[in-house]
Amino acid sequence: AQNYFVILELTATELDRLDIKGIPIPKTGQRDSEFAYTEYEKSLELFLCTRKGIEGIIFLDEVNLGTIDVKSALLKFIQKRTVADDKISPGFAIVAASNIPGTGGVDSDTLSTAFLGRQTGGIGVLVADPDQWCEWAESVGIDERVIAFIKENPDDYFYTKEDLETLRAEQRPFTAPRSLVAFSKVYNKALRDYYRAIKAGRKPRVKFEDYVMERGEKIVGEK
């Protein structure tokens, strides 16, 4: 693994504290020994991170959504850079991400001051810029109609202006960069399916415009 630059992604919602702390390995007869100690078994991915000479990035995603135990384990992971008492290679950078706090709802829990205080590289807020997003969208094949719409309405529809607390309470979808990408995929698939049906001489049961409106409302909201 030392021959590669490793990128390891860990999502807090999928972790157990033992994934980071390690699983204790029982040792027969240790209780009778004055040199008794506990060893821990690590996951292969985190074991590799402790190898000498290895370099890379450990990306901790959704850190604000982990359980209290997981957040505590991640705090030690960041602060002491250890996995089951083995040091992480100094060639690794640890980057943590969470949803922007203060917007309400379960997916925007704030992080503790202790956790934030351990981020020695600094803390920043990443918000997509409409113009830059449109440049990226053109490069990856997002539907041209979606891109044109955002170029015309960058401030009104790129991020929803509705109250997120209300939207979550009513279980309504809303506009955001990710939902625009999802809508583009659905729109393009619908185009292909309808063209294929027409070419085969079949009449679609639902008008294309009605289908797009119905599906789009469920992805990016009615507006």
In sequence order, the 6+-apart residues with CB closer than 8 A to the CB of 1 are 48, 51, 54
Place of tokens 């979606």: 146
- At residue 163, the pLDDT reads 78
CA atoms within 13 A on the CB side of 63: 22
Q: Name the residue among 49, 44, 40 with its Cα closest to residue 89.
A: 49
CA atoms within 13 A on the CB side of 114: 9
For residue range 64-102, list pLDDT tens digits in order.
888 888 888 888 888 888 887 789 999 999 998 887 665
Joined together, the tokens standing for residue 103 give 């917007």
- At residue 97, the pLDDT reads 87
Give the integer Cα–Cα distance in Å for 162 and 117.
Answer: 32
Residue 93 three-state SS:
strand
Place of tokens 């997002």: 142
- At residue 2, the pLDDT reads 79
Give the integer Cα–Cα distance in Å for 11 and 59.
Answer: 8
For the chain, 223 residues long, give each residue's pLDDT as a single digit of tens. Answer: 778 899 999 998 888 888 888 888 766 655 566 666 677 788 888 888 888 899 999 999 988 888 888 888 888 888 888 887 789 999 999 998 887 665 444 455 677 777 777 777 777 777 889 999 999 999 999 999 999 999 999 988 888 877 777 877 888 888 889 899 999 999 999 999 999 999 999 988 899 999 999 999 999 888 7
- At residue 31, the pLDDT reads 59
DSSP state of 39: E
- At residue 56, the pLDDT reads 94
- At residue 105, the pLDDT reads 44
Give the integer Cα–Cα distance in Å for 89 and 79.
Answer: 14
Helices (H), the chain: 17-21, 44-49, 68-80, 113-117, 130-140, 144-152, 154-157, 164-169, 177-199, 208-220
Give the integer Cα–Cα distance in Å for 96 and 13.
Answer: 13
Residue 167 three-state SS:
helix
- Element spanning 82, H or E: strand 82-83
